[in-house]
Structure 1
Amino acid sequence: MSAPLLQIKNLMVDAPGRRWRQPHHRILHGVDLSVGQGQTVGLVGESGSGKTTIGRVVLGLFPHTSGEVRFDGQPMPARRERGAQVQAVFQDPYSSLNPAMTIGDILTEPLLAARWSRTDAQARISELLDRVAMPAGTLRRYPREFSGGQRQRIAIARALAREPRLIVCDEPVSALDLSTQARVLDLLIEVQRDTGVALLFISHDLAVVRRISHRIAVIQSGRIVEEGEVEQVADDPTHDYTRRLMTASPLPDPDRQAERRAAWLELTRTTKE
């Protein structure tokens, strides 16, 4: 078996107290996590569980207190240097794209910053628009002219611009309706199949993570409490917290959703007893 592309070992992250007299607060407690070449690992947990902090550490947006983050067997490079290897798709497609820039400028900017010629950059962004199924006229328009799903497609195109080997997807479909979520997830699956890019897919929704992932890691209060293949974690979880996440996932069928809601309430009640 080949070495993982991303390897996190014993990751500890502390946040300073809100006031100078307050002690630091530990967000992550010795997290171990790995993502293989061309693999999608779903990281799932409720708000405040620490999942987004892991993504921010990988992206170089948040410092870690101790532990190790390695990429392709080497220490993770500095933030400025990792842009060609690691990219991100963030949660809110309404704020992740600069409203003052055209889509053409948004997609061209990272390539020009990486010293691509304008001719090569324009050829690359035309290719990217085709990949995410957006028309060529998109380039002259502004983010406000597109729906949430279209903006997220554009954000995916931007993340792919420099041909990264890993994309951190931080709640990339949580702001979208269910049908649009499905289309964006299908696009990410297709992109991975065609390019071999690895994904660290962060979400609070176990059903969403199940659809796209090869492996799932469940995080609670800064600790990984369950990890394994999709079928094992999503269909036959061993941890009560994972079961609660499973029963809390929304379903489009109102009758099945009512049954799941009742199961969630019963599980919550028995867990507290």
Structure 2
Amino acid sequence: MNQPLLDIQNITVEYPSKSFRSKPFRALSNVSLDVRAGECVGLVGESGSGKTTLGRAVLGLAPVTEGKVLFRGQDIAHAGRSERRELASDIQVVFQDPYTSLNPSRTVEQILAEPLTVRKVPRAEASKRIQALFEMVRLPADSGNRLPREFSGGQRQRIAIARALALKPQLIVCDEPVSALDLSTQARVLELFKDIQEQTHVAYLFVSHDLEVVRHISHRVAVMYRGDIVEFGDGDQVTSAPRHPYTQRLFFAAPVADPEAQAQRREERHRLLAEQNA
């Protein structure tokens, strides 16, 4: 089997305590995960499970105390600033909130041109690339001269996706990229992510609290609980017939349109919770 594009090996992330008498807070404990080229791996869990911390560790934004984060076989867990700048061409991120992730004082063209300018891409080539990005994320061709506030939430997230794609990365860490959007907009943006992956073969580490969201986009799904991965496997299997009790609780917590089925799910979730607390 080919070497994974991203190979997280037994990493631990600890944050120092505010009091010298207290032990450090351990956000992740001995976590392993891999993402293959062109693949989407969904990382799902409730708030506080550690899923966002794992994404931040890949990006160099969380301290890796132990273990390795291998990207194309190179350990980047402790990469310095200059190494991280070089990695920016290959690893990008789409954050949760499109309202705060874009500079409100810059036009969309300036936002998209910035990473290209840093890489010293000639102006004519950069302009051509920006127009191609508008087409790829399905924004109007005249979007460049407008400010982010002139767009809807879904359109702003498309701008953020275009910015992440500007340098043609191999991996994008998607940190809850649709959770701030309404349901209909979520569906359209998820389809956009899938179409982009088919066109570019970029890999995603897709972080979400919603099992239904990762079901629609992920080839494989990892489930995090209290800083550990408790289930990892084929996306259809994990999201439709989960084996771990925690994943089962996430599954039964997802709403369905049928009132009778919803009532059965609620009863099953209460049963699992009661077993956990017994």
Identity among equivalent positions (%) equals 56
Confirm or deny that 1:47 pairs with 2:47. Answer: yes
Q: How far 1:255 sits from its partner (Å)?
A: 6.0
Compare 31-40 and 21-30 and name the one that shifted more. Answer: 21-30
Structure-2 residue corresponding to 1:212: 217
Q: How far 1:130 sits from its partner (Å)?
A: 0.2
Q: TM-score, normalised by structure 1?
A: 0.96
For 1:125-136, list aligned pairs within 5 A: 125-136=130-141
Q: How far 1:131 sits from its partner (Å)?
A: 0.3
CA distance, structure 2, for counterparts of residue 249 and residue 123 of structure 1: 43
CA distance, structure 2, for counterparts of residue 100 and residue 256 of structure 1: 48
SS in 1 for 2:84: coil
Letter in 2 for 1:226: E
What count of residue pairs does the alignment treat as equivalent?
A: 273
**Deviation by residue 1:142-161 (Cα, 9 ceiling, x = unmatched):** 11111111111111100000
Structure-1 residue corresponding to 2:58: 58
Structure-2 residue corresponding to 1:250: 255
Structure-2 residue corresponding to 1:112: 117
Letter in 1 for 2:33: L
SS in 1 for 2:231: strand
Structure-2 residue corresponding to 1:72: 72
Structure-1 residue corresponding to 2:241: 236
CA distance, structure 1, for counterparts of residue 143 and residue 257 of structure 2: 32
**Deviation by residue 1:223-263 (Cα, 9 ceiling, x = unmatched):** 11111001221122111000011112234566654543343
Structure 2: stretches of 5+ with no match in the other structure? none
Contact 2:15 2:63 in 1 (8 A): no
Structure-2 residue corresponding to 1:225: 230
SS in 1 for 2:265: helix
CA distance, structure 1, for counterparts of residue 270 and residue 150 of structure 2: 41
SS in 2 for 1:32: strand
Q: Alignment partner for residue 88 of structure 1, among 82, 85, 93?
A: 93
Compare 158-167 and 137-146 and name the one that shifted more. Answer: 137-146
Structure-1 residue corresponding to 2:13: 13
For 1:189-200, list aligned pairs within 5 A: 189-200=194-205
**Deviation by residue 1:2-40 (Cα, 9 ceiling, x = unmatched):** 110000001011011123332211111100100001000
Q: TM-score, normalised by structure 2?
A: 0.94
CA distance, structure 1, for counterparts of residue 259 and residue 65 of structure 2: 45
| 1:271/1:161 CA distance change after superposition, 3 Å | same
- Superposition RMSD in Å: 1.4
CA distance, structure 1, for counterparts of residue 216 and residue 179 of structure 2: 14
